[in-house]
């Protein structure tokens, strides 16, 4: 341990370099808060390519080379070798799998956001489910601390692995809303011009977008709904059937991956945010929408009921009729829309990344 710091914390930060989805967002915001609020501890970062995000930080690049076995060699040998040379007090893995092959005097902390590859393998590519089935049990057994964003994920871990490892529930934070965001068409989304319902997240089977599309098209046909439906987010896996189905639907807009500027614009200008997911470990997009003063309709899948009960209109993931009822109520009933909006916006103020980082540091100090 350095004489100038209480602890040296090493963070495995590949997700900053090679992802754009939820865990990337989580890790990026968490690191920014660590560096902002914590001047007592030393932070170093291991990642896999040049990235301006790590400018002016202590960071180490171990290239992720292509080829049979090279990724495993990096994960199980090269990274542990560097960590042993750095001699940190704690290694934090924010992306489920790891850290591996460390001396016992280095504490291992793993963040497990959800167990979808274990509980719902059909929603994932085969490689992901195989890796989780092979390695996650070992990760949990060897961890000194596991952090989850919800009680639901904690229960899933305990039910699946019967572990005695300490599990701490620490909610995620929400980035302060950008109320100065431009109109969508000014940010490179020219097709988003009128009233719209919004989903934001990866386009993948777990998000239950078939149910949302069904509900939307039926409302358009029967109730002359004036809104379009915007599905915003990167294209994931196993969605060819969905994409083929909506490609000729002029009232459904598929944006693809959106930048932070575009995301802010979509949140600010939408009429209603809908999150129909079958299962979530936390569910950050509904919280982000609430912070913008947008009414939220949210499924009860996974932890969503725990996190958003009494603050959003809820429906069972496959109950299309209740989803349609909620959409119509928010469109026709201004009083209910105002109430749900105010309730959600006030609730979102309880979640900050600085608070998340502070609680994690407090747990580090107890290891």
* pLDDT reported for residue 1: 41
Task: Give the model's confidence band at 2: pLDDT under 50 very low, under 70 low, under 90 confident, else very high.
Answer: very low
* pLDDT reported for residue 224: 87
Tell me: do 15 and 162 sit in the same domain. yes
* pLDDT reported for residue 360: 98
Tell me: do 112 and 233 sit in the same domain. no
* pLDDT reported for residue 70: 87
For residue 79, what are the domain limits? 8-173+352-365
Task: Tell me the average pLDDT across 182-200.
Answer: 94
> Is residue 3 assigned to a domain?
no
Question: Could you read off the pLDDT of 124-158 as tens digits, one per residue?
Answer: 888 889 999 999 999 999 999 999 999 999 999 99
> Is residue 168 assigned to a domain?
yes
Tell me: do 126 and 256 sit in the same domain. no
One-character DSSP codes across 295-364 = -EEEE-TTTHHHHHTTTSEEE-TT-HHHHHHHHHHHHH-HHHHHHHHHHHHHHHTT--HHHHHHHHHHHH
CATH of the domain at 102: 3.40.50.2000
HEC letters along 79-123:
HHHHHHHHCCCEEEECCCCCCCCCCCCCEEEEECCCCHHHHCHHH
Look at the chain and report how many structural domains it folds into: 2
Tell me: do 272 and 356 sit in the same domain. no
Q: Is 197 helix (H, G, I), strand (E, B) or coil?
A: strand
Average pLDDT of the chain to the nearest whole number = 95
What is the percent of the chain with per-residue pLDDT over 90, rounded to a whole number?
90
Task: Tell me the average pLDDT across 35-60.
Answer: 97
Tell me: do 336 and 193 sit in the same domain. yes
Task: Say if pTM beats, i.e. exceeds, 0.85.
Answer: yes
């Amino acid at each position: 341990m350095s004489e100038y710091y209480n602890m040296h914390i090493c963070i495995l930060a590949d997700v900053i370099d090679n992802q754009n989805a939820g865990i990337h967002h989580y890790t990026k915001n968490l690191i920014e808060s660590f560096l902002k609020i914590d001047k007592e501890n030393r932070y170093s970062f291991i990642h896999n390519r040049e990235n301006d995000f790590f400018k002016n930080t202590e960071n180490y690049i171990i290239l992720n080379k292509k080829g049979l076995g090279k990724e495993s060699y990096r994960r199980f040998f090269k990274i542990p070798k560097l960590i042993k040379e750095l001699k940190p007090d704690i290694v934090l893995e924010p992306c489920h799998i790891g850290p591996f092959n460390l001396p016992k005097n280095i504490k291992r902390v793993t963040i497990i956001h959800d167990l979808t590859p274990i509980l719902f393998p059909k929603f994932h590519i085969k490689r992901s489910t195989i890796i989780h089935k092979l390695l996650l049990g070992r990760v949990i057994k060897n961890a000194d601390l596991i952090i989850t964003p919800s009680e639901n994920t904690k229960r899933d871990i305990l039910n699946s692995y019967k572990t005695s490892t300490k599990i701490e529930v620490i909610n995620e934070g929400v980035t302060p809303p950008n109320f100065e965001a431009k109109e969508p068409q000014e940010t490179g989304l020219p097709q988003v011009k009128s009233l719209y319902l919004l989903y934001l997240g990866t386009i993948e089977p777990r998000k239950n977008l078939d149910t949302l599309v069904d509900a939307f098209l039926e409302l358009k046909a029967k109730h002359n709904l004036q809104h379009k439906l915007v599905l915003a987010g990167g294209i994931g896996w196993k969605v060819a059937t969905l994409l083929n189905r909506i490609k000729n639907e002029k009232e459904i807009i598929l944006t693809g991956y959106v930048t932070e500027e575009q995301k802010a614009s979509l949140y600010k200008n939408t009429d209603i945010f809908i999150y129909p997911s079958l299962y979530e470990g936390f569910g950050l997009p509904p919280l982000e929408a609430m912070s913008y003063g947008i009414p939220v309709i949210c499924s009860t899948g996974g932890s969503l009921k725990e996190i958003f009960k009494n603050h959003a209109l809820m429906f069972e993931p496959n109950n299309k009729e209740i989803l349609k009822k909620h959409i119509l109520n928010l469109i026709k009933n201004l009083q209910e829309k105002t109430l749900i909006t105010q309730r959600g916006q006030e609730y979102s103020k309880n979640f900050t990344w600085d608070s998340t980082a502070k609680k994690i540091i407090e747990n580090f100090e107890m290891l």
